[in-house]
Every structure is written in structure tokens, then in C-alpha cells.
Amino acid sequence: MAAYLDTIIAAHRAAAAEDRRDPAAAIEAAQRSGPIRPFAAAVVAAAALRGMAIISEIKRRSPSKGDLDPTLDPAGVANDYEIGGATCLSVLTDHDFFGGSTEDLQRARAACSLPVLRKDFTISPLDVCDARSMGADAVLLIVAALSDHELGSLLGLANRLSLTALVEVHDELELKRALDAGAEVIGVNQRDLHTFEVDHQRALTLGPMIPSAAVAVAESGIRGGDDVGRLAGAGYQAVLVGETLVRAGDRRAAVAALLGAGR
């Protein structure tokens, strides 16, 4: 099977190499952006109150699954998620591989009061600045896509811009790299980004290795209440759920069902 991550990251690095904007000017512009909604604090508060926080994802398609809902209305979906009890949103902004856009994030955020993660492949300081400028409250940093220097630098910039950094890992070595870089919010992706296949044991294995001081988020392949219950038992404070919710006939009820399973 194709190495999806390699292809996607190569495309993003090529685009970054052609971006001639001044990073200092981009940082200054990002710092003038509107107020941030506290992403990590919302997760911690919801987990304490409900047993689990639900980060509900808005995405139109994926390389492995194809179209999920290419004509979805980001504002309507965000509203449904919030009514269902979601704590935060995750919005895909990658266009070429996931069909997303900056507009998707902005419309979703404007339609609700939830903190919003920009779900994209962040590989440069300009990507972090763009996340802040478009209105995101959090940014994704994928350890597998970054060198140690890049990870530390982008994490520091996210902190400087008051963005929560969700630092995504896939194995014990990546978890160590994330923690060494100072990550405070750790996402364990159960999907192998080279094959896009899901390993449900991955999060259960890594969960106990995440320090209690960090916020632990399980990502990908979460299909229902049984998965949420197991992940809550493994110490996770939040689950990030995309395909299951996007495909649900009643998205409000689907979020509520996941939330009930975490209690």
C-alpha cells in the first residue's frame, strides 16, 4: 500500500519551499489575530466533568476512504456537534488530499463556541502562523513528519502564538521525542500514516506511558461506545473522532452516544 504520509508531506514541503512570505511579518500578523478559545483547558474540564471529552472532526474525504461527505456544510456540522455535546472541533484544511479549506475552519468556528483544531500537515513556521491567522485555537504537529529541531521550533512558536499544540505520535519512540520537546497535549493516532490501517492496540499500549501531567488524546478508528470505554480505561481524557461522526445519519445523537460511553 502506498506510503500516504510520505506523499502528503512531500507535497506540503514542496509548497512551503515556494512560499516567499516573510516569517517575521507572518508572526506579527498572527499575533494580531482575535482571541483564542482554550482548547487544552476545555478538554481537561470536560474530562473531569464527564469522564471523556469528544473532539469531533469535520472532514470531507480521506486518501484511504475516499469521499465521506464532500458537500457537507461546516457550519451545520459544527452546530450539530456542539448540540450533541462535543468539547472541541477538529477541521481538516488540507485541500489536495482531504478536500478541506481555510473557509471550512472559519465557517465551523463562527457557527459554534467550541475551540477548534486546525487539522493539517504542519511543517513550517508559516503553517503555524496561518493556523492562528485563520482563527484556529490549536494546531497539529505530527512527530513522524518532523525532525527534532522542527518539532521543538514549531512547538515553541505555537506556544508563542497562544495556540495549543496537539503533538501526534504513533509509537513509544515518537512519544519520547514529543515529551523531550516539551509537548503537553499528546495525541496517539491509531492509524498508521504510512499505510492508513488502524491498530486498536496502539492507544491502549501507549496510554499508560503518557505522563499524568499531559493531556492524552486518542485518535482514529474510534467507532463507538466500546472503543471510548476502553480508551477511558487506558487513561485518555479525549477521543478525536472523524469518519464515524461524519457518516452518522444523526450527528448530534452520535456525539451524545460517544459522550455517554465515556461517563
**Do residues 112 and 82 touch, judged by C-beta distance below 8 A?**
yes
Q: What is the pLDDT of residues 62-77, one digit of tens each?
A: 887 888 988 999 999 9
For residues 78, 79, 83, 86, the Cα torsion angle rounded to the nearest 10 degrees is 10
Catalytic residue among 56, 90, 119, 174, which? 119
pLDDT above 90 as % of the chain:
83
- Domain membership of residue 217 (yes or no) is yes
* Maximum pairwise Cα distance, the chain: 49
- Domain membership of residue 32 (yes or no) is no
Catalytic residue among 59, 82, 124, 133, which? 59
- Domain membership of residue 154 (yes or no) is yes
- Domain membership of residue 142 (yes or no) is yes
Active site annotation includes 176: no
Active site annotation includes 59: yes
Measured CA to CA in angstroms, residue 160 lies from 22, 131, 163, 263 at distances of 17, 13, 8, 35
> What is the structure's pLDDT at 64?
78
More confident residue, 30 or 221: 30
Active site annotation includes 56: no
Confidence label for 261 from pLDDT (cuts 50, 70 and 90) = low
Catalytic residue among 62, 90, 133, 219, which? 219
> What is the structure's pLDDT at 194?
66
**Block residue for cell numbers 469521499:** 67
Residue-range definition of the domain harbouring residue 200: 4-27+39-261
Catalytic residue among 56, 62, 82, 168, which? 168
- Domain membership of residue 47 (yes or no) is yes
What are phi and psi for residue 230, nearest 5 degrees? -65, -40
**Do residues 239 and 55 touch, judged by C-beta distance below 8 A?**
yes
Whether the full predicted model's pTM is greater than 0.75, yes or no, is yes
Counted domains in the chain = 1
CATH number of 240's domain: 3.20.20.70
- Domain membership of residue 60 (yes or no) is yes
Measured CA to CA in angstroms, residue 58 lies from 50, 125, 180, 230 at distances of 22, 24, 31, 24
Catalytic residue among 62, 90, 133, 189, which? 189
Closest alpha carbon to 135 in 157, 155, 156, 115: 115
